[in-house]
């Protein structure tokens, strides 16, 4: 098996040559140069799936190299010369097929660009037979954090000569200062470029249960503002649709927290900020709704619709509307109001943080809020039946979301076991309510769009296909409503109530 060794950035191939010459006749090939770019999605989907994707460029040729675990790397010509890119813009290839599931709708972004000067070494025995092959890579990170990276030595044993490879590693270890083994070059490069593969772009704050609740609330709100700021450029450039989803999630979380714990903050500030975030939520809603529609159309599940080809006019209509909605969103985000939201909010939070807030503690506040949020859901759930109107269920769903953001924001101060239990029951309920709402929205919008398209003389086949799509949404709605009673029962069960009470770290 190939071994990947790293030595200090100051090490050079000459040292490798000298270390091995003591025992072997070392033959070298002329050095070659290449540049590789490490690609992944913004949320590290490839890394989390155990894959490394490189765009390797040598002269005028470029190829995508995908490695995953112990399997042999697979390659494909890389015709794309610039990143980021969405998957559908790459030429069809085995590499694209292999990463498609993991990448999903996210774009591939360049995380680190490295220049490599590579020399092949062959260690020969007395018969001039190759016993071990080595590749010695001098690497240099390009870009803002440009720096020499560790010298990388790949030791490839030949079958039947594994001992020579071990001896070779031993010789190098003795003569040179090995920085480590098994560190993937891509990971090393991305880390040097300032990224932590696999880690969220903004880590949840570690809250002190004994600290004043306001202090923790400010920490939680700052994190969500960080997430909004990180997602904002991706929304503006429309790199992929998940940036908007992330931005909206953080906006909703902020609004929920202001609603639940806003009493801890100055009232005027809460009212002003709540209005700003509500505006941002409304601004972003149309594009997201259209994204959900388009995803539904692109989803493989849609394949069971016999009239899929007939839905093309619908898809074009949705894309046109999306372009227009995206323009409006961009105007809003780059307007004075949109541009100043983050700065104003951060200044407000700084002012709040700078003042003294002795009580209540984070611990008290988090526990009280969780119980209150739970009670509100149970109260709203009491009159629910399978026939409850969608708008009423939407109100219940919003209460669930508020509790979810609370559990996410204060996760570090809740007891882990009960937290998992409550979260599990809540997620199942949310999924069910989400399905009902999405189906309802889709069903209503399809009816509206059908009216618009009919005026434009679309074919009867298209209208019928849209009818089939709407019928499918209604079936999903019915199925979710059928499940709802069970999910509510579990969430409102005494065991979940006990778990909510047990979130409090002081509970016995």
Partner 1 sequence: MRSLALYNIKGGVGKTTTAVNLAYLAARDGSRTLLWDLDPQAAATYMFRIRPRVKGGGERLIRGKRPLDAAIKGTDFDRLDLLPADFTYRNMDLILDGTKRPTRQLQRILEPLGSDYDLVILDCPPSISLVSENVLRAADTVLVPLIPTTLSMRTFDQLTEFVRSVSYQTRLLGFFSMVDRRKRLHREITDDLTRQRADIATSAIPALSLIEQMAVRREPVPHFAPRSLAARRYEQLLAEAMSEGQGTLST
Choose one: 158-166, 203-211, 249-257, 476-484; the region binding partner 1 (CB under 8 A).
158-166
| Residue 470 in the binding site for partner 1 (CB under 8 A) | no
Report, in Å, the least distance between residue 135 CB and partner 1. 13
d(CA 359, CA 376): 24
What are the phi and psi torsion angles at 129 (to 5°)? -90, 135
Choose one: 6-14, 152-160, 243-251, 297-305; the region binding partner 1 (CB under 8 A).
152-160
Residues forming a β-bridge with 122: 27, 133
Contact of 145 with 194, CB cutoff 8 Å: yes
Report, in Å, the least distance between residue 122 CB and partner 1. 8
Select 158 or 292, whichever has its Cβ closest to partner 1: 158
Secondary-structure breakdown of the chain: helix, strand, coil percentages, each rounded to the nearest 5:
60, 15, 25
Select 158 or 474, whichever has its Cβ closest to partner 1: 158
Angle (CA) 387 392 396, round 5°: 110
* Candidate list 159, 206, 455, 456; residue touching partner 1; CB under 8 A: 159
Neighbours of 94 (CB within 10 A): 12
Closest CA to 108 of 59, 22, 188, 43: 43
d(CA 429, CA 487): 5
d(CA 355, CA 215): 10
Choose one: 50-58, 74-82, 154-162, 385-393; the region binding partner 1 (CB under 8 A).
154-162
Please report which helix (H) or strand (E) contains residue 417, including its range: helix 416-455
Cβ-Cβ contacts under 8 Å for 91 (sequence gap 6 or more): 76, 77, 79
d(CA 127, CA 132): 14
Report, in Å, the least distance between residue 133 CB and partner 1. 9
Choose one: 76-84, 155-163, 264-272, 283-291; the region binding partner 1 (CB under 8 A).
155-163
Residues forming a β-bridge with 210: none
Select 72 or 448, whichever has its Cβ closest to partner 1: 72
| Residue 1 in the binding site for partner 1 (CB under 8 A) | no
| Residue 163 in the binding site for partner 1 (CB under 8 A) | no
Select 60 or 159, whichever has its Cβ closest to partner 1: 159
Report, in Å, the least distance between residue 127 CB and partner 1. 4
Report, in Å, the least distance between residue 31 CB and partner 1. 20
Report, in Å, the least distance between residue 158 CB and partner 1. 3
Select 122 or 152, whichever has its Cβ closest to partner 1: 122
Select 157 or 219, whichever has its Cβ closest to partner 1: 157
Site string for partner 1, 102-141 (x = CB under 8 A): --------------------x----xxxx-----------
Report, in Å, the least distance between residue 137 CB and partner 1. 18
SS (H, E, C) 454-476: HHCCCCHHHHHHHHHHHHHHHHH
Report, in Å, the least distance between residue 167 CB and partner 1. 16
| Residue 74 in the binding site for partner 1 (CB under 8 A) | no
* Candidate list 17, 83, 161, 279; residue touching partner 1; CB under 8 A: 161
d(CA 7, CA 155): 13
Question: How far from chain centre, in Å, is Cα 129?
Answer: 49
Tell me the Cα Rg of the chain.
28
* Candidate list 87, 119, 158, 372; residue touching partner 1; CB under 8 A: 158
Site string for partner 1, 395-424 (x = CB under 8 A): ------------------------------
* Candidate list 160, 182, 383, 494; residue touching partner 1; CB under 8 A: 160
Contact of 132 with 116, CB cutoff 8 Å: no
Q: How many residues does the chain have?
A: 508
| Number of residues counted as binding partner 1 (CB under 8 A) | 10
Q: Which structure tokens are listed for 30?
A: 């002329």
Select 156 or 237, whichever has its Cβ closest to partner 1: 156
Please report which helix (H) or strand (E) contains residue 309, including its range: none
Q: Distance of CA 95 to CAs 69, 73, 75, 218, 294, Å? A: 15, 10, 6, 44, 25
Check residue 361 and report its DSSP letter: B
Report, in Å, the least distance between residue 4 CB and partner 1. 18
| Residue 3 in the binding site for partner 1 (CB under 8 A) | no
Select 136 or 488, whichever has its Cβ closest to partner 1: 136
Select 120 or 201, whichever has its Cβ closest to partner 1: 120
Select 69 or 160, whichever has its Cβ closest to partner 1: 160
Cβ-Cβ contacts under 8 Å for 11 (sequence gap 6 or more): 150, 151, 176, 177
Select 127 or 304, whichever has its Cβ closest to partner 1: 127
Select 128 or 457, whichever has its Cβ closest to partner 1: 128
d(CA 500, CA 507): 10
Binding site for partner 1 (CB under 8 A): 122, 127-130, 157-161
């Amino acid at each position: 098996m190939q071994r990947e060794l790293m030595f200090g950035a100051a090490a050079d191939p000459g040292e490798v040559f000298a270390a091995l010459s003591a025992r072997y006749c070392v033959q070298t090939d002329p050095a070659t140069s290449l540049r590789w770019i490490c690609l992944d999605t913004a949320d590290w989907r490839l890394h989390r799936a155990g894959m490394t994707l490189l765009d390797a460029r040598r002269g005028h040729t470029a190829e995508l190299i995908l490695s995953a675990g112990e399997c042999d790397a697979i390659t494909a010509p890389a015709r794309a010369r610039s990143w980021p890119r969405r998957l559908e813009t790459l030429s069809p290839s085995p590499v694209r097929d292999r990463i498609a599931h993991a990448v999903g709708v996210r774009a591939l972004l360049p995380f680190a660009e490295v220049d490599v000067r590579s020399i092949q070494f062959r260690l020969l025995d007395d018969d001039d037979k190759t016993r071990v092959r080595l590749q010695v890579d001098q690497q240099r990170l390009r870009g803002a954090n440009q720096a020499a990276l560790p010298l990388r030595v790949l030791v490839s044993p030949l079958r039947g000569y594994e001992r020579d490879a071990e001896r070779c590693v031993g010789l190098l270890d003795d003569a040179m200062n090995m920085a480590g083994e098994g560190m993937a070059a891509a990971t090393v490069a991305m880390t040097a470029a300032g990224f932590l593969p696999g880690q969220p772009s903004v880590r949840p704050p570690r809250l002190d249960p004994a600290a004043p609740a306001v202090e923790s609330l400010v920490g939680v709100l700052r994190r969500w503002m960080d997430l909004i700021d990180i997602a904002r450029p991706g929304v503006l450039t429309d790199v992929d649709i998940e940036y908007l989803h992330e931005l909206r999630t953080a906006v909703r979380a902020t609004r929920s927290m202001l609603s639940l714990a806003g009493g801890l903050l100055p009232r005027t500030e809460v009212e002003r900020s709540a209005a700003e975030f509500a505006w941002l939520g409304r601004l972003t809603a149309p594009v997201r709704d259209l994204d959900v529609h388009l995803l539904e159309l692109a989803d493989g599940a849609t394949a069971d619709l016999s009239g899929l080809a007939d839905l093309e006019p619908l898809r074009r209509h949705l894309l046109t509307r999306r372009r227009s909605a995206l323009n409006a969103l961009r105007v809003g985000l780059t307007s004075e109001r949109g541009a100043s939201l983050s700065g104003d909010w951060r200044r407000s939070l700084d002012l709040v943080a700078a003042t003294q807030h002795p009580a209540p503690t984070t611990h008290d506040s988090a526990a009280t809020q969780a119980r209150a949020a739970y009670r509100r859901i149970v109260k709203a759930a009491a009159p629910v039946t399978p026939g409850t109107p969608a708008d009423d269920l939407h109100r219940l769903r919003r209460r669930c979301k508020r509790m979810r953001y609370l559990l996410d924001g204060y996760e570090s101060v809740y007891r882990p076991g009960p937290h998992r239990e409550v979260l599990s029951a809540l997620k199942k309920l949310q999924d069910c309510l989400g399905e009902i709402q999405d189906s309802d929205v889709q069903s209503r919008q399809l009816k509206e769009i059908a009216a618009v398209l009919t005026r434009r003389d679309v074919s009867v086949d298209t209208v019928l296909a849209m009818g089939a799509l709407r019928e499918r949404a209604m079936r999903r709605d019915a199925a979710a409503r059928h499940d709802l009673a069970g999910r509510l029962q579990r969430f409102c069960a005494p065991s979940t109530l006990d778990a909510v009470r047990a979130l409090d770290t002081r509970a016995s």
